[in-house]
Amino acid sequence: MISFEHVAKRYPGGVQALSDVTFRVNGGEMVFITGHSGAGKSTLLKLIALLERPSRGQVLFDGRNVGKLARRQIPYLRRRIGVIFQDHRLLSDKRVFDNVALPLMIAGLPFAEIQRRVRAALDKVGLLDKEKLYPPMLSGGEQQRVGIARAIIGRPPVVLADEPTGNLDPGLSAEIMNYFLRLNETGVTVLIASHDLELIRSLRRRVLVLAHGQIIDDRPARARRDSAAGQGPLEPDQGALW
Amino acid sequence: MVKTRNLSSGREVSGGFAAVRAWSRRHAFSLLSSLGTIARHPLASLMTFGVLAFALALPLALHVALTNVERLGQHWERLDTLSVFLHTDVGEEDVDRISSRLSTWTQILAVDPISPQQGMSELSQQLGLLDAENLLTENPLPWVLEITPAVGFQRDTLLARLEAEAAVSTVIVDLQWLERLDAMTEVLSRLVSLLAVLLALGVAVIIGNTIRLDIQNRSEEIEVMALVGATPAFIRRPFLYMGLWYGLIGGVLAWLLVAAALLALDEPFRALSRTYAESAGLLHPGQDILALVVGGSGLFGLIGSWLVVGQHLRRIDP
């Protein structure tokens, strides 16, 4: 699904975020990326969604080299990747409903279907009664859940999350992680950058450890609930949201 | 505009009809969101509309004033008469014949012959000479035809035709001030055109600047939209619609301003035209002019926002 081959990323100004990264993530896998701050976790995720382009090496998504993708193709790649940020990146002057609906509006879906799917997504994250509120009226955990609803509303085969629990207390963090687990169980490939080592360890999934722009450890998932891995994504219209 | 997007995801609607439907839904979304932006900032939007309306009302009002002055000028022209001096050897029977012939011309409304005797008495009255006719053994004045031209007559062709008449000695027209008026309206109409061009560019600049500020305020939104897979065209569209709305609404408001001014001026103008034995009201701008103002302002709004949006989106580079 996703593979990095000797990828390096140097930002203008000389900061070397990634120096030589090679790994593969299969469809349906759930992978944590961890490492100290500045190890290159965010950069790694940004390269997949083409928020940045690699300086060297290849990033393959579904067998295609995204670094070589034409500019006008980028939007269509991004529609296949749901991205969740630590700072949510919600539009504060738009209601929760409109925030979640945005990817579907962009895809030009009929409003009735948008409404149905947004409601379903908000129901999954337990925010159905908050659809008319504006994001600043919500708590941090609720905002993060709105971000998750927005990322998955387009039923992307891949979801990337950058420190999704960064600002949350342990209880909320576990709850958020639980959403990702359930999402992964429906066949969605999930990559999560996090430094919450304790939480990661308890989930027993594959972990990539980054340090100084390189992968220093690749710990495989420990046997438990492996059934979802390798199964491939579900058909988009099959069943509920995840 | 409709591109078939062949996507590996297979979720994007494909097929002509569905693609058109999705395309029109995206347009509807952009259209509504642009209107929503205007409605969410009523004060700022009102001020922009106001600036646009005043800028557009100026050339429109001048144009209306000009067409009304031109029409009044036609009335004034008709009130003036041409004095056609015949040769001194033309007798009374010939005068009758000529005047009845001239009065059949479409360019002439009325012919009023003045005999040498009448002319002499008028002249002596004007000069304050009593019995001037008695002082002169022979009346040196010729017959004169006072001609009232029809509305909309062509001065030059009428003059040429009259002068071509064998019996006519000279034609005297005291219409120089009318020529000046014509020349003045010519200058003014050129001025109106210049103003229209300048203010059309002004509309593009005003709207472009408004959109530029709006883009800056919404740069976060633009980034998020790009993040969730919006195409540059989709991001650009609400801003283009907004430029169009600003232009169209500004144009309509300008028309309303001018219409209100015309309403206020109508009664005094009628009083004025009654002194010319006319009861015509003010001419309102024609539909073609209104369409030009509203449509042109919409177009320039679109152009203004197009230039700004293109440049800014490249700078934000989502």
> How far apart, in whole angstroms, are the C-alpha atoms of residue A32 and residue A191?
6
Strand residues in chain B grouped as ranges (E): 82-86, 108-114, 144-149, 168-172
Chain A CB contacts of B25 below 8 Å = 108-111
Secondary structure of B88-142 in HEC code, one letter for each residue: CCCCHHHHHHHHHHHCCCCCEEEEEEECHHHHHHHHHHHHCCCCHHHHCCCCCCC
Nearest residue to A185 (alpha-carbon basis) of A123, A235, A242: A242
pLDDT, residue B120, reads 80
> Would you call A103 and B229 a contact, using CB atoms and an 8 Å cutoff?
yes
Q: Indicate whether B243 belongs to any domain.
A: yes
User: How far is the CA of B253 from the CAs of B45, B56, B202, B294, in angstroms?
Assistant: 13, 9, 16, 9
> How far apart, in whole angstroms, are the C-alpha atoms of residue A104 and residue A106?
5
> Would you call A76 and B10 a contact, using CB atoms and an 8 Å cutoff?
no
> How far apart, in whole angstroms, are the C-alpha atoms of residue B181 and residue B167?
32
Domain boundary residue, one of B156, B173, B190 = B173
B145 and B84 Cβ atoms separated by less than 8 Å? yes
Q: Residue B4 pLDDT > 70, yes or no?
A: no
pLDDT-wise least confident of B1-10, B66-75, B117-126, B288-297: B1-10
Helix or strand run (H / E) with residue B61 = helix B42-79
pLDDT, residue A123, reads 92
What's the average model confidence in pLDDT over B277-295? 82
What is the pLDDT confidence band of residue A57, given thresholds at 50, 70 and 90? very high
Chain A residue with minimum CA distance to B20:
A108
pLDDT, residue A48, reads 92
Same domain, B56 and B192: yes
Chain A CB contacts of B220 below 8 Å = 89, 91
pLDDT, residue B318, reads 46
> Would you call A79 and B8 a contact, using CB atoms and an 8 Å cutoff?
no
Per-residue pLDDT tens digits for B172-214: 776 666 777 778 888 888 988 898 889 888 888 999 998 888 8
* Six token digits for residue A79: 């529609």
Say which of B5, B25, B29 has its CB closest to residue A76.
B5
> Would you call A105 and B224 a contact, using CB atoms and an 8 Å cutoff?
no
Same domain, B301 and B158: no
> How far apart, in whole angstroms, are the C-alpha atoms of residue B52 and residue B203?
6
> How far apart, in whole angstroms, are the C-alpha atoms of residue B147 and residue B287?
37
Smallest CA–CA distance, residue A14 to chain B, in Å, is 21
What is the pLDDT confidence band of residue A170, given thresholds at 50, 70 and 90? confident
> Would you call A49 and B13 a contact, using CB atoms and an 8 Å cutoff?
no
Chain B CB contacts of A107 below 8 Å = 11-12, 22, 229
The ipTM is: 0.80
Same domain, B168 and B72: no
> How far apart, in whole angstroms, are the C-alpha atoms of residue B150 and residue B172?
17
pLDDT-wise least confident of A95-99, A193-197, A238-242, B283-287: A238-242
What is the pLDDT confidence band of residue B223, given thresholds at 50, 70 and 90? confident
Smallest CA–CA distance, residue B220 to chain A, in Å, is 8
Smallest CA–CA distance, residue A109 to chain B, in Å, is 6
User: How far is the CA of A193 from the CAs of A165, A200, B313, in angstroms?
Assistant: 10, 10, 30
- The CA-CA-CA angle for residues B91, B175, B111, to 5°, reads 35
pLDDT, residue B15, reads 66
Smallest CA–CA distance, residue A224 to chain B, in Å, is 30
Smallest CA–CA distance, residue B256 to chain A, in Å, is 33
Same domain, B154 and B271: no
Say which of A76, A89, A111 has its CB closest to residue B224.
A89
Q: Indicate whether B13 belongs to any domain.
A: no
User: How far is the CA of A216 from the CAs of A207, A211, B80, B114, in angstroms?
Assistant: 11, 6, 104, 119
pLDDT, residue A146, reads 94
Domain boundary residue, one of B130, B145, B173 = B173
What's the average model confidence in pLDDT over A159-170? 87
What is the pLDDT confidence band of residue A157, given thresholds at 50, 70 and 90? very high
What is the pLDDT confidence band of residue B77, given thresholds at 50, 70 and 90? low
pLDDT, residue A45, reads 92
Domain harbouring B90, CATH code: 3.30.70.3040
> Would you call B231 and A51 a contact, using CB atoms and an 8 Å cutoff?
no
Q: Indicate whether B21 belongs to any domain.
A: no
Q: Is the pTM of this model over 0.90?
A: no
Q: Tell whether the torsion through CA atoms of B220, B224, B230 and B234 is positive or negative.
A: negative
Same domain, B290 and B184: yes
Q: What is the mean pLDDT of chain B?
A: 81
Q: Indicate whether B68 belongs to any domain.
A: yes
Chain B CB contacts of A75 below 8 Å = 226, 229-232, 234
Chain B residue with minimum CA distance to A110:
B25
What is the pLDDT confidence band of residue B130, given thresholds at 50, 70 and 90? low
Chain B residue with minimum CA distance to A151:
B228
Chain B residue with minimum CA distance to A63:
B8
Q: Indicate whether B169 belongs to any domain.
A: yes
What is the pLDDT confidence band of residue A229, given thresholds at 50, 70 and 90? very low
pLDDT, residue B241, reads 92
What is the pLDDT confidence band of residue B1, given thresholds at 50, 70 and 90? very low
Same domain, B200 and B54: yes
Same domain, B254 and B169: no
Q: Residue A227 pLDDT > 50, yes or no?
A: no
What is the pLDDT confidence band of residue A237, given thresholds at 50, 70 and 90? very low
Say which of A78, A90, A155 has its CB closest to residue B229.
A78
pLDDT, residue A60, reads 93
pLDDT, residue B81, reads 73
Q: Indicate whether B2 belongs to any domain.
A: no
> Would you call A75 and B221 a contact, using CB atoms and an 8 Å cutoff?
no
Per-residue pLDDT tens digits for B253-265: 999 999 999 999 8
More confident residue, A47 or B76: A47
Helix or strand run (H / E) with residue A40 = none
Same domain, B157 and B235: no
pLDDT, residue A233, reads 40
Same domain, B201 and B243: yes
Smallest CA–CA distance, residue A201 to chain B, in Å, is 30
- What domain range is B117 assigned to? 81-173
Q: Residue A198 pLDDT > 90, yes or no?
A: no
A191 and A161 Cβ atoms separated by less than 8 Å? yes
Helix or strand run (H / E) with residue A179 = helix A170-185
> Would you call B22 and A107 a contact, using CB atoms and an 8 Å cutoff?
yes
Q: What is the mean pLDDT of chain A?
A: 86
Same domain, B234 and B309: yes
What's the average model confidence in pLDDT over B273-290? 78
Number of domains in chain B: 2
Chain B CB contacts of A80 below 8 Å = 8-9
Q: Residue B33 pLDDT > 90, yes or no?
A: no
> Would you call B231 and A72 a contact, using CB atoms and an 8 Å cutoff?
yes
Same domain, B89 and B225: no
Chain A residue with minimum CA distance to B19:
A108
Q: Indicate whether B148 belongs to any domain.
A: yes
Q: Residue A241 pLDDT > 50, yes or no?
A: no
Domain boundary residue, one of B173, B188, B207 = B173
Residues facing residue A158 across a β-bridge = A81, A189
What is the pLDDT confidence band of residue B277, given thresholds at 50, 70 and 90? low
Per-residue pLDDT tens digits for A73-82: 888 999 999 9
Say which of A108, A150, A157 has its CB closest to residue B228.
A150
Same domain, B85 and B215: no
- Chains A, B: CB contacts within 8 A come to 79
What's the average model confidence in pLDDT over B297-309? 90
Chain B CB contacts of A79 below 8 Å = 9, 11-12, 228-229
Per-residue pLDDT tens digits for B85-126: 888 888 888 888 888 888 888 888 888 888 888 888 877 777
> How far apart, in whole angstroms, are the C-alpha atoms of residue A40 and residue A38?
5
Residue A77 CB neighbour total at 10 angstroms: 20
Q: Indicate whether B10 belongs to any domain.
A: no
Residue B234 CB neighbour total at 10 angstroms: 20
> Would you call B7 and A76 a contact, using CB atoms and an 8 Å cutoff?
yes
Phi, psi of B75 (to 5 degrees): -65, -45
Chain A residue with minimum CA distance to B10:
A236
What is the pLDDT confidence band of residue B250, given thresholds at 50, 70 and 90? very high
